[in-house]
Amino acid sequence: MSSPPQDSPKPGFFHIETLKHPIVVLLIGSIMSAVVVPWLSARINDRRLIAEARLQQCRSILANGTETDRRLNTLLVTMEMWVKDNASLTAIPEPDRAHMRSELAQLYREFDAQVWWWVSRLPIESKLLRIDYDAQQLSAVTQRYQANVIAAMREIDKLWNLCVRKSMKPSDPILHQTAAAVRTEVGRLQNERQQLVGQMVYLFAPREPTLQRLLTQP
């Protein structure tokens, strides 16, 4: 006696034959277009924005480092020119000396308004820009940078104090010797400062192998 015929099971949604159905293919494509593609685009765009933020931070570090060097050099050059222009004089009239003090004070105020603040802003700016960085390394480098700037100002102060001293004669050899010694040491400190700026740039540079390799080349 034969058994009654049984209905064949209906294929489920994930059955291979069902997945081949044009409507199902269209539905899956629509889901991919509506969800996956925007998600991938957002991820790519986010990475691009962060890479651009890293480059902008590097440019800012380089610009501020150069500006600090420029302002320090302006202070020193102003005093060097004063020493050179008055080398043949035995005395400087007090009004001229007062003008010198005023000019140096103005240059220092402009220098002070720039030099200390840009370095201290780096951590908070980087967090706002969502830039990952090694906080410990950055702290070490910025501390060395600020110590370097303080050392440079101490050198410049040696010449500054002589230039504004009432009893100092412009023809005194000590003035010219000090100017030469200060220039040498300030130049050495500037070279060291530029290396520290390079280390800061490396910390924030985009994590691209080619770029990282170029930054680490001597």
| CA dihedral of residues 188, 192, 194, 200 (deg, nearest 10) | -170
- Give pLDDT, residue 125: 84
pTM above 0.75, yes or no: no
Residue 114 has pLDDT above 60, yes or no: yes
Both tokens of 128, joined, read: 């706002």
> For residue 205, which of 88, 81, 105, 57 has the smallest C-alpha distance?
57
What is the biggest distance separating any 2 CA atoms in the chain, rounded to whole angstroms?
137
Residue 135 has pLDDT above 80, yes or no: yes
Q: What is the pLDDT of residue 171?
A: 79
Q: Sort 158 into a burial class: Cβ within 10 Å, 0-12 / 13-18 / 19+.
A: middle
Amino acid identity, residue 92? I
The confidence score (pLDDT) of residue 13 equals 46
CA distances from 61 to 46, 49, 209 (A): 23, 18, 21
Banded model confidence at residue 207, pLDDT cuts 50, 70, 90: low
* Structural domains of the chain, with CATH: 57-216 (1.20.120)
Residue with tokens 């320090």: 72
* pLDDT(81) > 70: yes
> Mean per-residue pLDDT for 64-70?
95
